[in-house]
């Protein structure tokens, strides 16, 4: 059985029945099974195999970067199997601004629209123009516009039931020449009229200070989403917890940092059998020492339970958890 421990960045020891890589749409369709359970993935930075997976794993290795200069900017078509940070670094080297806030996010280009990855005030959906997709059951290929992708906070149409058999093959980006730098985030706001290169370098510096390198300490980045609650719920919480931060989403909703909730629930640095809540950023769970899936799920559920008990807020996982038969819901 193929080893999966190096196929997902959390690094839990696990195996699958069969594993193949595919480099084209046709190869994917040829490999896709009709009966055996199948999981299709990229670099595994947002997937955690908590135990052996009783099925076929297909790894997206569709590559290629095509740039087309147009009036007002540059259009990029990028294979889903390309590394995300490598793409961001490439655009900076070429002098194209727009993606610099998303530097050093682990994972593949194909995963970016599914998760609508975001950091330091920017979400990737703001830079995507369209996404190429194949339905592995029908074999049909089609393209979705940015609006059709229905991007939301760490969310997209690709997470809906209708997209169960969709696979992202290529992602198109539009990087306009006159993009306004996104510098609302604290560390970036301190920069004086920064260039894309300066933002890129600062984001890398901040991320390296706060977040563990998956190559050194197994992790899947932010384990939980930042919860969105109603304005009235937030005001009630603020009466009980005056220091609780909140970011206004609209007239009726406020986003609360999950890291603050987890930290104030007493979990920063807390460990269960080799799985720890990272001491510098409690939103990240790490594989401290030969962690097991059982320990990971135990810690995650303990955090959920305590946060719900103390703050009446439900934390939802940002990562995909895979068990023997497929997805695990916390």
* Annotation says 222 is catalytic: yes
pLDDT digits (tens, 9 = 90+) for 283-305: 999 999 899 999 999 999 999 99
**What does the mean pLDDT of the chain come to?**
96
Looking at residue 86, its pLDDT comes to 98
Looking at residue 289, its pLDDT comes to 87
> To 10 degrees, the CA torsion angle through 185, 187, 190, 196?
-80
pLDDT digits (tens, 9 = 90+) for 112-125: 999 999 999 999 99
Where does the pLDDT of residue 186 fall: very low under 50, low under 70, confident under 90, or very high at 90 and above?
confident
Pairing of strands 228-230, 253-255: antiparallel
3-state helix, strand, coil in the chain (%, to 5): 30, 30, 40
List 127, 154, 157, 320, catalytic entry: 154
Which residues, other chains included, contact 204 with Cβ-Cβ below 8 Å and sequence gap of 6+? Answer: 103, 104
> To 10 degrees, the CA torsion angle through 226, 227, 228, 230?
-140
Looking at residue 286, its pLDDT comes to 98
Is 10 within 8 Å of 295 (Cβ atoms)? no
* Annotation says 318 is catalytic: yes
Q: Which residue reads 């421990």 in tokens?
A: 5
Q: Return the ∠ at Cα 86 (arms to 223 and 280), rounded to 5°.
A: 35
pLDDT above 90: percentage of residues in the chain: 94
Looking at residue 164, its pLDDT comes to 95
pLDDT digits (tens, 9 = 90+) for 139-185: 999 999 999 999 999 999 999 999 999 999 999 999 999 999 999 88
pLDDT digits (tens, 9 = 90+) for 28-77: 999 999 888 999 999 999 999 999 999 999 999 999 999 999 999 999 99
pLDDT, mean of residues 247-255: 92
Task: Just give the CATH number of 212-322.
Answer: 3.90.78.10
Domains of the chain, by residue range, sit at 65-207, 212-322
Predicted model pTM? 0.93
List 7, 82, 222, 320, catalytic entry: 222
pLDDT of residue 270 exceeding 90, the answer is yes
65-207 to CATH, choices 3.40.50.720, 3.30.465.10, 1.10.287.40, 3.30.70.600: 3.30.465.10
- Packing angle between helix 196-210 and helix 84-93, nearest 10 degrees? 150
Q: What are phi and psi of 138, to 5 degrees?
A: -90, -25
Looking at residue 35, its pLDDT comes to 85
List 100, 123, 132, 318, catalytic entry: 318
Work out the number of other CB atoms within 10 angstroms of the CB of residue 137.
Answer: 12
């Amino acid at each position: 059985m193929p080893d999966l421990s190096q196929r997902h960045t959390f690094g839990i020891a696990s195996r699958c029945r069969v594993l193949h890589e595919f480099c084209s749409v046709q190869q994917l369709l040829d490999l896709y099974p009709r009966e055996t359970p199948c999981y299709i993935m990229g670099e595994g930075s947002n997937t955690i195999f908590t135990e052996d997976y009783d099925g076929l794993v297909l790894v997206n290795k569709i590559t290629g970067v095509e740039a087309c200069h147009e009036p007002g900017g540059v259009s990029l078509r990028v294979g889903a199997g390309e590394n995300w940070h490598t793409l961001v670094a490439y655009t900076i080297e070429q002098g194209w601004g727009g993606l610099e806030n998303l530097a050093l996010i682990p994972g593949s280009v194909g995963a970016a629209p599914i998760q609508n990855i975001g950091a330091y005030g920017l979400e990737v959906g703001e830079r995507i123009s369209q996404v190429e997709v194949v339905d592995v059951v029908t074999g049909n290929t089609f393209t979705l516009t940015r609006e059709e992708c229905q991007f939301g906070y760490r969310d997209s149409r690709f997470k809906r039931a209708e997209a169960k058999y969709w696979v992202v093959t290529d992602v198109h980006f539009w990087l306009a020449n006159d993009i306004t730098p996104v510098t609302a985030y604290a560390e970036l706001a301190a920069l004086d009229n920064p260039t894309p290169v300066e933002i890129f370098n600062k984001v890398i510096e901040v991320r390296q200070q706060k977040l563990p390198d998956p190559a050194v300490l197994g992790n899947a980045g932010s384990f939980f989403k930042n919860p969105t609650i109603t304005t009235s719920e937030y005001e009630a919480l603020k009466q009980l917890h005056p220091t609780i931060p909140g970011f206004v989403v609209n007239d009726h909703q406020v986003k609360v940092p999950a890291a603050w909730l987890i930290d104030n629930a007493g979990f920063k640095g807390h460990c269960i059998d080799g799985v720890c809540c990272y001491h510098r950023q409690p939103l990240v769970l790490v594989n401290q020492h030969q962690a097991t899936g059982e320990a990971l799920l135990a810690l995650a559920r303990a955090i959920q339970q305590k946060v719900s008990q103390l703050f009446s807020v439900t934390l939802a996982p940002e990562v995909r958890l895979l068990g023997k038969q497929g997805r695990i819901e916390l």
